[in-house]
């Protein structure tokens, strides 16, 4: 079935792959991105260049805190809300930015969605909500206990999604991504930094004692899970997107 999707954060790492995939399915896409300077905006423009001229795609360069969201949602059947301020370490020093971009922007979009006949509203969350996981593998029934301000804002977005589903029937689905990697990955993330250090013959600093583990998820798998959530996931639920 052909759908009309709104994708926020569409020029980002996962968002650009998701946008291309939706267009490949024949969907109509409204792609929103603010092209913020958390990392070089030119990288995001390169990401968006693959779909900016597609006649089925409307690219909107704007901030969700300033847009007329009711008009943006007109005719949309599925929302994929990926726009957010990323990064754990910087969230300690710039918490106000994270609150605005992750929490307030999400609340505004959910409030507008309460008046729109959506099939699904998919919210991108993070494995950061778990903090120091109590068990491995980590199931969705583990109580979120984030250990960073970034993780705290992601817990807040999940709670907002649940509130708007419970009180206004917004068909929200929350996805907890586990360290997605692949082409177009942010330059500040480990895989890019490891490769850069290797090419330059420079040492790579490891935090901790080297025994930490991480569940990495290839971007095409993350996109497949995101599409599945937008088509048929149970509203009101949270799902891990990872390899286990």
pLDDT of residue 2: 80
Which listed residue (150, 164, 177, 239) is catalytic?
150
List phi, psi (to 5°) of 95: -60, -35
The pLDDT tens digits along the chain (244 residues) read 689 999 999 999 999 999 999 999 999 999 999 999 999 999 999 999 999 999 999 999 999 999 999 999 999 999 999 999 999 999 999 999 999 999 999 999 999 999 999 999 999 999 999 998 878 889 999 999 999 999 999 999 999 999 999 999 999 999 999 999 999 999 888 889 999 999 999 999 888 888 877 889 999 999 999 999 999 999 999 999 998 7
Collapsing DSSP to helix, strand or coil, 178 comes out as: coil
Share in percent of the chain as helix, strand, coil (round to 5): 40, 15, 45
- For 65, 184, 196, 197, the CA distances from 200, given in Å and listed in that order, are 40, 20, 6, 5
Q: In whole angstroms, give the CA distance from residue 47 to residue 61.
A: 14
Q: Are 8 and 63 in contact (CB under 8 A)?
A: no
Q: Is 68 helix (H, G, I), strand (E, B) or coil?
A: coil
Q: Which domains does the chain have, with CATH numbers?
A: 4-181+216-241 (3.40.50.720)
The pLDDT value recorded for residue 215 is: 84
pLDDT of residue 1: 66
The 10s digit of each residue's pLDDT in 60-112 is 999 999 999 999 999 999 999 999 999 999 999 999 999 999 999 999 999 99
Catalytic, 39? Answer: no
* Model pLDDT, residue 78: 98
Peptide bond between residue 137 and the one before it cis (omega within 30 degrees of 0): yes
Question: What's the token pair of residue 74?
Answer: 């007109």
Inter-helix orientation angle 13-24/219-232, to 10° = 60
Compute the C-alpha angle 40/158/2, nearest 5°: 75
User: Which pTM value belongs to this model?
Assistant: 0.95
């Amino acid at each position: 079935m052909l759908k009309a999707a709104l994708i926020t954060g569409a020029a980002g790492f996962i968002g650009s792959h998701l946008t291309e995939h939706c267009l490949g399915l024949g969907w109509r896409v409204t792609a929103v991105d603010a092209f913020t300077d958390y990392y070089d905006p030119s990288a995001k423009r390169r990401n968006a260049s693959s779909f900016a001229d597609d006649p089925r795609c409307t690219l909107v360069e704007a901030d969700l805190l300033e847009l007329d969201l009711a008009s943006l949602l007109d005719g949309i059947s599925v929302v994929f809300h990926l726009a957010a301020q990323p990064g754990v370490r910087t969230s300690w020093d710039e918490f106000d930015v994270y609150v605005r971009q992750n929490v307030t922007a999400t609340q505004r979009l959910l409030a507008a969605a309460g008046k729109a006949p959506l099939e699904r509203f998919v919210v991108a969350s993070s494995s950061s909500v778990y903090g120091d996981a109590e068990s491995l593998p980590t199931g969705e029934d583990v109580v979120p206990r984030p250990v960073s301000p970034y993780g705290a804002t992601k817990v807040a977005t999940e709670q907002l999604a649940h509130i708007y589903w419970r009180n206004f029937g917004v068909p929200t689905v929350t996805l907890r991504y586990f360290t997605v990697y692949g082409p177009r990955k942010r330059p500040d993330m480990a895989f890019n930094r490891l490769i850069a250090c290797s090419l330059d013959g420079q040492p790579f600093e490891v935090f901790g004692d080297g025994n930490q583990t991480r569940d990495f998820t290839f971007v095409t798998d993350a996109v497949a899970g995101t599409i599945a959530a937008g088509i048929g996931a149970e509203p009101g639920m949270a799902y891990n997107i990872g390899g286990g």
